[in-house]
Amino acid sequence: MKPIYVLNGPNLNRLGKREPHIYGTTTLSEVEAMCRHEAGDRPLVFRQTNSEEMLINWVHEAIDEGDGILINPAAFTFTSLALLDALKMFEGPVIELHISNIHKREPIYHRSYVSMRADAVIAGLGAGGYRVGVRAVLSLVKG
């Protein structure tokens, strides 16, 4: 059984401390525990980086070794054509996730390059959106 990849972009290592009025008080460690619980027996690779290069390398790894990707690309959502190109090579389901509702925020957050490849987008559910995202990826992989 191939793993599900949960990939997190820049500044998500600061969850729980960074702008709690937007992102809540749940830490990234707590998010990882939620994801592992939802995945059950399914292997899950959970990672976070502040590096665009590293995030792209992990997508490449998922291309070779994974069944699905749940990705919170954070700021790279709005800036990275390279990330989009990497995700386009992935043949399994890709779900884009945002803790906040990016469409209620400033206009710079309204255009997602990742959405051009994503099979679905989850936004505005807070950290609990990760639970929904893992369930959705599993459903799409099984489906």
Structure-derived torsion over alpha carbons of residues 57, 122, 135, 118, reported in degrees to the nearest 10: -50
Structural domains in the chain, CATH included, are: 4-142 (3.40.50.9100)
Q: What is the pLDDT of residue 27?
A: 96
Is 122 within any annotated ligand binding site? no
pLDDT averaged over consecutive 10-residue blocks of the chain (143 residues)? 97 91 90 98 98 98 98 94 98 96 76 94 96 98 82
Determine phi and psi for 2, rounding to 5 degrees: -80, 150
Q: What is the pLDDT of residue 143?
A: 67
Is 119 within any annotated ligand binding site? no
Beta strand pairing status for 44-48 and 68-72?
unpaired
Q: Any idea what the Cα angle at residue 30 is, between residues 27 and 31, rounded to 5°?
A: 90
Q: What is the pLDDT of residue 54?
A: 98
| Of 5, 21, 23, 109, catalytic | 23
